């Protein structure tokens, strides 16, 4: 690689290791590309998570899903899934590792919560090495960018990130490498290790839309890095952590998908949208998801007219009518104004998003409006059915989930339920009763997840203390101890969740199956409930 | 010794969960868990 002249371009990379079956790109790179281009900086976004799978001809496409028709049995859903999963496992076996569509690549003996483990295993060859050496790195060498930014979203991407950095440096790349994203922000100061800063130049915490352009201009013009917000960087005096500045709603970027292989993602393809940054509630005591937005997990709402323009522009540009809101919780104001605009301009589209069981969803007129505008599915945090113990989770949402499920159903909006079992103070009874409730009302439910409680970094769970293992310095989930009487232990929570998942695999396999999630809600295969609700209620009374 | 105690405890806990599932959900129904493989649990989307 030529060491002298470097091109004034930023490469933005989504590293391998993220779940492979989403129908569209993670929204971080499209937002960062847009932020850079708005400041006159050339940027190229590369989804190496998708591209490394394509490198091995791994894919479940729309035609594979259509051939399932409406047979959502485990055997039928398994067919395309294990066709690809088995190929991946064969590839990984050569590296003494496992490679899973949902769980990423894991060599045996590797611990993604330990920086020492990542340091050692990132020196070894992996399933990604050939892709890095023959495709990604040569394309970088051809353009020799001044800066490479890598967005690390989940722990499963850490190993590939550092393997890539090592190979890139070995091939002679001397430009700047910065890491950011949800995972880097959550690990925070524990990232500040000498070996890390031998490979990379800086970290960006929280949102990077102001920080990356600012950093780029500083290195381009040889200016001090001391004023770049949210930057952690190495000087001759050691590691420096700059002040944190959170971006304001009028600085939110419009996603730019132009570099990405839109239409080439797995299953039914969609484009990603962002209406609000973070969670407008943000007080659920178990949840650390909004933390990395900054400002206690909430930065504010975008203008509904901006979101409307994103839909219209990208629908026309890519010919895709399906959109996924990646907001942590859809907000009624945004949704109402957006829906009115979509209807008044006669824009045909379908969309889905995460939501809370808040009372505005009981408003029939509102539901009719958003359904008419294209809302096809909501992903709701039920966690547990109502009981005195559910209040421990501090969700402060509606106490009438069933009524809301019925109203969603009446409005033609599908529902996914997240359940959470083993939260300290809740036990076997609450968990089993929740699954019994779900099965009893199964005609109102499209998909469901069972999650075991774990103590998430950056949360505070009353009367529960995390057990922090020094050897797992990059862990974002902790074991825990509590004096709450009868609280389940971590192993017990695992057993409880496995047993209840088995019940669902037996009764409604499509609820849990990743293949069905590539179909619903945008596929042409329509799920029909052949059994009448009254008959089901008798079975699960 | 400690591992045996843990295993015994886990088996007893699993049996208690099974019993609660039988009483609340299955109600004597013979759950026929398919021999088909199941995808590993991810973190959802």
Q: Which chain B residues are within 8 Å of A436, Cβ to Cβ?
A: 24-25
Selection from A334, A379, A328 nearest residue A352 by Cα: A379
pLDDT for A524:
87
In this structure, what token pair is assigned to residue A352?
């889905």
Q: Which chain A residues are within 8 Å of B33, Cβ to Cβ?
A: 502, 505-506
pLDDT for A388:
86
| Distance, CA of A488 to CA of A452 (rounded, Å) | 11
Q: Which chain A residues are within 8 Å of B10, Cβ to Cβ?
A: 491-492, 495
Q: In Å, how far from its chain's centre is CA A486?
A: 33
pLDDT for B45:
47
pLDDT score of A2 more than 60: no
Q: Which residue has the tokens 């799978």?
A: A53
Residue to mutate among A325, A512, A518, with most B CBs inside 10 A, is: A512
A499–B42 CB contact, under 8 Å: no
Using only C-alpha atoms, chain B has a radius of gyration, in whole angstroms, of: 15
Average the pLDDT over A243-255 and give the result: 97
This prediction has a pTM of: 0.96
Of B10, B26, B42, the CB nearest to A102: B42
Phi, psi of A297 (to 5 degrees): 90, 10
A536 exposure class (CB count in 10 Å sphere: 0-12, 13-18, 19+): middle
> Which residues are CB-neighbours of A255 under 8 A, at least 6 positions away?
A27, A30, A31, A34, A271, A272, A273, A274, A310, A314
pLDDT score of A3 more than 60: no
Confidence of residue A5 (pLDDT cuts 50, 70, 90): low
Confidence of residue A225 (pLDDT cuts 50, 70, 90): very high
- Kind of pairing, strands A447-452 and A238-241? unpaired
Own/partner long-range contacts of A67-70 (Cβ < 8 Å, ≥24 apart): A68/A515, A68/A519, A68/A525, A69/A525, A70/A525, A70/A526, A70/A527, A70/A528
Q: Which residue of B has its CA nearest to A325?
A: B45
A494 touches chain B (CB under 8 A): no
pLDDT for A465:
96
| Distance, CA of A270 to CA of A519 (rounded, Å) | 11
Q: ∠ at Cα A20 (A17, A25), nearest 5°? A: 95
Average the pLDDT over A85-111 and give the result: 98
pLDDT for A528:
66
- What H or E segment, with its residue span, contains residue A44? strand A42-47
- Is residue A34 within 8 Å of residue A256, measured between CB atoms? yes
Selection from A439, A401, A411, A470 nearest residue A114 by Cα: A470
What's the Cα-to-Cα distance from A447 to each of A124, A298, A350, A367, A523, rounded to whole Å?
Answer: 39, 27, 18, 20, 14
| Distance, CA of A415 to CA of A381 (rounded, Å) | 10
Mean pLDDT across chain A, nearest whole number? 96
Q: Which residue has the tokens 């989804």?
A: A47
Average the pLDDT over A464-472 and give the result: 96
A14 forms bridges with which residues in the sheet?
A47
Q: Which residue of A has its CA nearest to B33?
A: A506
Average the pLDDT over A10-15 and give the result: 98
B13–A505 CB contact, under 8 Å: no
A319 exposure class (CB count in 10 Å sphere: 0-12, 13-18, 19+): exposed
pLDDT of B1-45, one tens digit each? Answer: 557 778 888 899 999 999 999 999 987 666 666 789 999 976 554
> Which residues are CB-neighbours of A71 under 8 A, at least 6 positions away?
none
| Distance, CA of A87 to CA of A264 (rounded, Å) | 19
| Distance, CA of A382 to CA of A454 (rounded, Å) | 17
Provide the shortest C-alpha distance from residue A252 to chain B (in Å): 23
- Is residue A239 within 8 Å of residue A193, measured between CB atoms? no
- What H or E segment, with its residue span, contains residue A513? none
Q: Which residue of A has its CA nearest to B11?
A: A495
pLDDT score of A532 more than 80: no
Selection from A61, A78, A12, A40 nearest residue A518 by Cα: A61
Q: Which residue of B has its CA nearest to A505?
A: B33
Number of C-alpha atoms within 13 angstroms, CB side, residue A246? 14
| Distance, CA of A487 to CA of A484 (rounded, Å) | 6
In this structure, what token pair is assigned to residue A510?
């499509």
Of B17, B21, B42, the CB nearest to A103: B42
pLDDT of A339-385, one tens digit each? Answer: 999 999 999 999 999 999 999 999 999 999 999 999 999 999 999 99
pLDDT score of A530 more than 60: no
pLDDT of A158-184, one tens digit each? Answer: 999 999 999 999 999 999 999 999 999
Average the pLDDT over A37-50 and give the result: 98
pLDDT for A409:
97
Of B24, B36, B45, the CB nearest to A22: B45
A301 forms bridges with which residues in the sheet?
A276
The percent of residues in chain A predicted with pLDDT above 90, rounded, is 94
B37 touches chain A (CB under 8 A): yes
In this structure, what token pair is assigned to residue A204?
């960006």
């Amino acid at each position: 690689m030529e060491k002298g002249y470097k091109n004034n371009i930023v490469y933005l990379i989504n590293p391998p290791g993220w779940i492979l079956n989403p129908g569209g790109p993670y929204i971080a790179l499209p937002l960062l590309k847009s932020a850079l281009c708005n400041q006159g900086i050339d940027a190229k976004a590369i989804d190496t998570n998708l591209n490394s799978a394509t490198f091995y001809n791994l894919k479940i496409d729309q035609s594979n899903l259509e051939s399932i028709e409406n047979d959502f049995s485990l055997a039928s859903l398994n067919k395309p899934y294990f066709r690809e999963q088995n190929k991946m496992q064969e590839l990984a076996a050569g590296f003494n590792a496992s490679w899973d569509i949902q769980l990423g690549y894991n060599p045996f003996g590797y611990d993604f919560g330990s920086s020492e483990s990542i340091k050692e295993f990132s020196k070894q060859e992996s399933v990604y090495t050939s892709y890095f050496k023959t495709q990604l790195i040569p394309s970088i060498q051809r353009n020799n960018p001044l800066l490479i930014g890598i967005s690390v979203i989940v722990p499963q991407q850490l190993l590939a990130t550092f393997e890539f950095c090592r190979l890139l440096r070995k091939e002679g790349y001397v430009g700047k490498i910065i890491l950011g994203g949800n995972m880097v922000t959550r690990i925070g100061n524990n990232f500040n290790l000498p070996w890390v800063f031998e490979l990379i130049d800086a970290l960006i915490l929280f949102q990077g839309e102001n920080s990356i352009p600012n950093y780029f201009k500083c290195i381009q013009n040889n200016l001090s890095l001391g004023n770049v917000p949210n930057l952690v960087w190495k000087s001759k005096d050691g590691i420096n952590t700059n002040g944190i500045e959170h971006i304001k709603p009028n600085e939110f970027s419009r996603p730019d998908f132009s570099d990405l292989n839109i239409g080439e993602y797995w299953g039914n393809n969609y484009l990603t949208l962002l209406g609000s940054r973070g969670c407008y509630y943000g007080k659920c005591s178990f949840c650390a998801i909004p933390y990395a937005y900054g400002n206690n997990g909430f930065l504010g709402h975008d203008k509904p007219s901006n979101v409307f323009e994103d839909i219209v522009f990208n629908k026309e540009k890519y010919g895709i009518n399906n959109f996924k809101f990646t907001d942590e919780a859809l907000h009624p104001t945004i949704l109402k104004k957006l829906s009115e605009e979509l209807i008044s301009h006669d824009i045909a589209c379908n969309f889905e998003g995460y939501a809370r069981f808040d009372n505005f969803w009981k408003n029939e007129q509102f539901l009719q409006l958003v359904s008419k505008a294209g809302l096809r599915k909501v992903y709701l945090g039920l966690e547990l059915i109502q009981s005195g113990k559910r209040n421990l989770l501090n969700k402060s949402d509606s106490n009438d989930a069933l009524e809301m499920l019925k109203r969603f159903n009446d409005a033609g909006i599908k529902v996914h339920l997240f359940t959470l079992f083993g939260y300290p103070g809740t036990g076997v009874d609450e968990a089993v009763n929740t699954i019994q409730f779900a099965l009893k009302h199964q005609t109102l439910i499209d998909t469901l997840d069972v999650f075991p409680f774990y103590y998430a970094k950056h949360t505070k769970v009353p009367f529960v203390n995390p057990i922090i293992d020094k050897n797992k310095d990059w862990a974002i989930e902790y074991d825990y101890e509590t004096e709450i009487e009868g609280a389940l232990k971590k192993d017990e929570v695992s057993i409880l969740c496995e047993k209840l998942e088995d019940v669902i695999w037996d009764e409604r396999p499509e609820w849990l199956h990743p293949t069905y999630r590539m179909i619903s809600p945008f596929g042409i295969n329509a799920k029909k409930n052949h059994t009448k609700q009254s008959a089901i209620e008798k079975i699960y009374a | 010794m400690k591992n045996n105690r843990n295993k015994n405890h886990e088996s007893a806990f699993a049996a208690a969960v099974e019993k609660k599932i039988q009483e609340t959900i299955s109600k004597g129904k013979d759950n026929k868990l398919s021999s088909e493989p199941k995808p590993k649990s991810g973190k959802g989307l």
